[in-house]
Structure 1
């Protein structure tokens, strides 16, 4: 059976790929088998993968909110747009969780011109600049022009002393982070140029997806028990990670959520952030 992908291509329906994505939510094998059985009965020739995802999400949510929240991860990261400002904060949180010192939105003078750097991180006396590329469209990819452009900025900054973490810092690494993916040419150019990449699925063993499942770095936009408007209010308050709500549940009251709902939301967060 042929289904339509997000790019508009006609592809074979792959139940095993769907099974793997459902299992990544933490749902049991029996629950996944039941959902697959129901989806198989509803899938038809030409259905979009987006509609299949929506059906799977709805069925997971009926089973457990936190399973649906995990399954919703890629869409949740997409909701950190459209400007990309919250995505930058999210990337900063990822590096903070790995014991980096972090500075955001710092303007530095290069040898030729000044540059605003999205994120600067420091660990073991090494400082890296991280440029974040947020795509509004989930189908878009960062092509080779992105690392080529950012390399020129890095080269203008990396041989100059800066006052960031101390009075005399040198930038010795360059990263590019994106919410979607990099093209093959972009990956090859970055590897050749010494630029490190981080995307939804790259590097394979340490991608944004892997870091989430391993370290429970789920953005607050994953949650199924709050509305989109409430998510936006929490982001505006600086609540980027869902797990922050376990230590600061008062943030929920701050945006006028009732005590009963606060209890349900904290329960979802607690279950969501049990890493497996």
Structure 2
């Protein structure tokens, strides 16, 4: 049986891949097997991957909101657009969870020209610049032109000192982060030029997906108990991660959430951020 991706390509339906993604939500094997059994009767030749996702999400939500929220993470990261400003803040929060200092959106003067840098991080006296490539389409990929272009910017910036975390800082590392994936040529070029890459599934053992599940870095956009408009309002108030609401629950009342709904939202947040 074939399923159709958003790009229009057709691939074989892989129930084992779907099972793994459902288990990542924290749902039990029994619950996942029941969902797969139900989906077997609803999947047909030519069905879109988007349609399968919607059906699986709906079935998970009936079981538990926080399971559906975990299953929703990749889509939730795409909601940090469309310009990618909130994605940059999300990447900064990922590095902060690993004991880095982080600053977003600085303009720095290179040896030749000035450059807008998305994120700058510091740890153990080493400073890295991070360029974020946000794609609105789930099928889009960052190709080799991306690291080639960013390498030239890095080379210009690393030749001079900057006022970032102190008065005289030197940039010594370069990262590129994307919400989708990198092509094989992009990876090869980055490795050859000592540029570090971070995407949804790369590096395999320390990708955005791995970091997210390991450290409970769920974006607030994955919550199922708030509307899209409410998610956008929370993002504008600086609520990037779902767990931010545990320390700043007053943000919910700021966007006119009723006390009853606030209780349900915070319950989902607590269950979601109970790392497993």
- Bin the TM-score by the shorter chain: over 0.9
Which residue of the partner structure matches residue 223 of structure 2? Answer: 223
> Alpha-carbon deviations, 1:206-249, whole Å to 9, x = none?
00000010000000000000000000000000000000101111
Match of residue 272 from structure 1: 272
Aligned to 1:134: 134
CA shift for structure 1 position 25: 0.3
Distance 1:236 1:118 in 2: 17
Look up the match of 2:263: 263
Gaps of 5+ in 2: none
How far, CA to CA, are the matches of 2:210 and 2:104 in structure 1?
Answer: 24
* Whole-Å separation in 1 of the counterparts to 2:62 and 2:151: 47
Paired residues for 1:1-276 under 5 Å: 1-276=1-276
Q: Residues 122-161 of structure 1, C-alpha deviation per residue, up to 9 Å, x if partnerless?
A: 0000000000000011110000000000000000011201
Tell me the CA shift for residue 7 of structure 1.
2.0
Return the offset for 1:5. Answer: 1.9
TM-score (norm 1): 0.99
**Distance in 2 between residues matched to 1:10 and 1:148, nearest whole Å:** 31
RMSD: 0.6
Q: Give aligned pairs, total.
A: 276
Gaps of 5+ in 1: none
Moved over 4 A (4+): none
CA separation in 2, counterparts of 1:5 and 1:87?
A: 24
CA distance in 2 between counterparts of 1:13 and 1:119 reads: 39
CA distance in 2, matches of 1:107, 1:165: 14
Task: Give the Å deviation of 1:167.
Answer: 1.2
Secondary structure, counterpart of 1:42 in structure 2: coil
SS of the equivalent of 1:201 reads coil
Q: CA deviation at 1:200?
A: 0.5
Cα distance in 1 for partners of 2:104, 2:3 equals 42
- C-alpha displacement of 1:17: 0.6
Deviations 1:172-203 (A, max 9, x none): 00000000000000000000000000000000
SS of residue paired to 2:149: helix
SS of the residue aligned with 2:131? strand
Counterpart CA distance in 1 for 2:136 and 2:31 is: 33
Residue 87 of structure 1 aligns to a residue whose secondary structure is helix
Q: TM-score, normalised by structure 2?
A: 0.99
* Cα distance in 1 between the residues matched to 2:11 and 2:114: 47
How far is 1:10 from its partner?
Answer: 1.5
Provide the rounded CA distance (Å) in 2 between the counterparts of 1:143 and 1:168: 34
